[in-house]
A and B are shown apart, each in its own frame.
Chain A
Amino acid sequence: MKRIERAYWAIGCWLVLALIGYGLQPLVNRSGSADLHRQLLEQALQRSLISEAEEQSILDRQQLLDRYLAANFAGSLYQMVPARLSPHLDPHPRRSVARLDRGTETGLLAGMGVIGAAGVIGKITSSGPGWSLVQLADDPAFVIPFIDEVGRSAIYAGGPNLGRGHPRLRIDPVELLDGMVLRTHGGGGTFPEGLVVGVVSEVRFPFRNSVILLTSTLHHGQEVLVLTPLTKVKTR
């Protein structure tokens, strides 16, 4: 076989391998821990945040709005803008991103927090007319302060794997326990206090190697709310 023919064969085989890779993607994405993931998060939410009836009712945008309107942060500092979140593949394989169907026309700007039925989803990183890109909570560069069940604070960071995060830094002497629900601290101005960040699934040493499970619907299309900070209007 001539060298040029071997080159064509190499390109053909490479293309076939890439196609096989695409074909196997659903198998890789459906990890064995998905059920455990969902179970842990749902148990924690049922215990501490909402009743079963309310969880079943979070099906559309209006019901999602109703739920968070009852929360104590509503109307105080944030205005909630409903939007549709859809999966988006970032060209960088390490980044975790989603797309919103609303953008600058509704006042959405970079840095605003995005929440879903199960808590924190991510932050807006860029926006334009009719679109916004959201850095999801499992992105390695996503960082927010959180509090444990006693109220001690630490820093959460996304990654290293999809659907997971880890504690990066202790601010107070936080001690993580399996199944502990972690909530937003409220500092930083992106998220109000008390929203669910995730559930501790593995406690490891050192502290930053512990694993925090995020909502299992993080990478799925869903209705979300964008928290836009209210600005004071000067009146005469």
Chain B
Amino acid sequence: MRAGWFTILLLLTIFTTGAFRPLLVNTAASADPLLILLAWLALIDRWPRIIVVVAVISVYRVFGGISTPFEVLTPILMITFAVRSLRLWMDPYHPWKRYQIVIPALVLGAAIEEWILAGYLPSMSFVFQSCWIAALCGALMMPILDLTTPLLRSARYPL
């Protein structure tokens, strides 16, 4: 049943990415719901689940489109490792401090994605805009994800 709800969450996130696709251009790449889900899981969850999400995103985006594995995997892995590194210094369970982990990780992912696709490092305005867009979308999506934690039935999520 845990796997069932986890699959539904993943599918719902893919569905949401498709729904808000026209808005996810340029700086709004940091608000990609699939990447927010990955960052949220990487905050607290176990590695096997994180690896499953990384694998699903990679397979879906590489085999369904024109992106190469390098273009898809690099930002995803950077986000994952950034979250796992930053959580060593900040409390991932804290309702506000966790944004200080997720937002830099999402901005880093968006910047690397821009660098790989467009061929140059993004400007400071790109970073600032990505920051507030990531903060806004993270603040919208993470409380909803928090509410779904009883369905995932993991000891990592405190009751």
Residues of A within 8 A of B67 (CB): 90, 92, 95
Interface stretch, picked from A12-20, A111-119, A223-231, is A12-20
- A6-48 contacts to B, CB under 8 A, are 6-7, 9-11, 13-15, 17-22, 25, 28-29
B16 within 8 A of A: yes
Q: Assuming the A-B contacts A7-B149, A7-B150, A141-B118, are A21 and B29 also in contact, with contact meaning beta carbons closer than 8 angstroms in the complex?
A: no
Question: Does B144 lie at the interface of the complex (its beta carbon under 8 Å from any beta carbon of A)?
Answer: yes
Contact code string B25-67 (vs A, CB < 8 Å = 1, else 0)? 1100100100000000000000000000000000011001111
Complex Cα–Cα for A133 and B66 (A): 7
Residues of A with C-beta under 8 A to B124:
none
Which stretch from A54-62, A74-82, A159-167, A196-204 is at the chain B interface?
A: A159-167
Contacting residue for B22 out of A11, A14, A19, A162, CB 8 A: A162
Known: A6-B147, A7-B148. A94 touches B113 (CB 8 A): yes
A19 touches B19 (CB 8 A): yes
Q: Across the interface, do A168 and B119 meet the contact criterion of CB distance under 8 Å? A: yes
Q: Are A95 and B65 neighbours in the complex by a CB distance under 8 Å?
A: yes
Among B4-37, those with CB < 8 Å from A are: 8-9, 12, 14-26, 29, 32
**Which of B18, B32, B148, B159 interacts with A11 by CB under 8 Å?**
B148
Chain A residues in contact with chain B, CB under 8 A?
A: 3-4, 6-7, 9-11, 13-15, 17-22, 25, 28-29, 89-95, 97, 125-126, 133, 135, 139-141, 143, 157, 159-162, 168, 208
A-B contact pairs, 29 of them (CB 8 A): A4-B151, A6-B150, A7-B148, A11-B148, A11-B151, A14-B12, A14-B144, A15-B12, A18-B19, A19-B19, A21-B19, A22-B19, A25-B19, A89-B18, A89-B21, A90-B61, A92-B65, A93-B24, A95-B65, A97-B65, A126-B66, A133-B65, A140-B118, A141-B71, A141-B117, A159-B117, A161-B25, A168-B119, A208-B120
The residues of B with any CB-CB pair to A shorter than 8 Å are: 8-9, 12, 14-26, 29, 32, 60-61, 64-67, 71-72, 113-114, 117-120, 144, 147-151, 159
